Amino acid sequence: MKHINKAIIAATACMAFSSVAFSTNALAVEVKPAMSAKHAKAATQYRQSIFQLVKSNMGPLGGMAKGALPFDESVMQTNAVRLEQLATMMGDYLSVDTREYNVDTGAKDAIWENFSDVETKIAALKTASQGLQSAVEDGDKSAYRNAIGKIGASCKSCHDDYKKD
């Protein structure tokens, strides 16, 4: 009986993994309108908080890439992990369409009109953050500046298209 239960659990886990791994929309986030002015305000605050955290982690990395700060592997690793984690959460916070309510936001309407592109840009941030982590883990000092640059470029691409000036 134990062997049957283990087999069922293993088969169920395998099927669940397969459905996630092979579904192109498994991780897609659906854009949903804010349900009230209070919800729109909270969603905007959360969204802006995520970006403040991104900024606080990018600041030291940018300083290192520009040569204003010495490369610090510990800071690079920590901040790259944080940026990856923030990218993982970003879609959920960006997907709340707040256009119907009068909230002070820096987001252009296009963010909700072309959300699949936003998700692509979020994925690029996550990949770039993982790239910096790998460079640090490998001790490849020659790759640090380029890896940080890729993170910055992923941020800039979203700002260019979806952030008001």
**136 close to 80: Cβ distance less than 8 angstroms:** yes
Task: Please tell me whether 155 is known to bind a ligand.
Answer: yes
Q: Alpha-carbon distance 160 to 165, whole Å?
A: 9
Task: Please tell me whether 159 is known to bind a ligand.
Answer: yes
Q: What is the separation, in whole angstroms, between the first and last Cα of the chain?
A: 64
**137 close to 156: Cβ distance less than 8 angstroms:** no
Residues contributing to the annotated binding site: 155, 158-159
Binding site, annotated residues for heme c: 155, 158-159
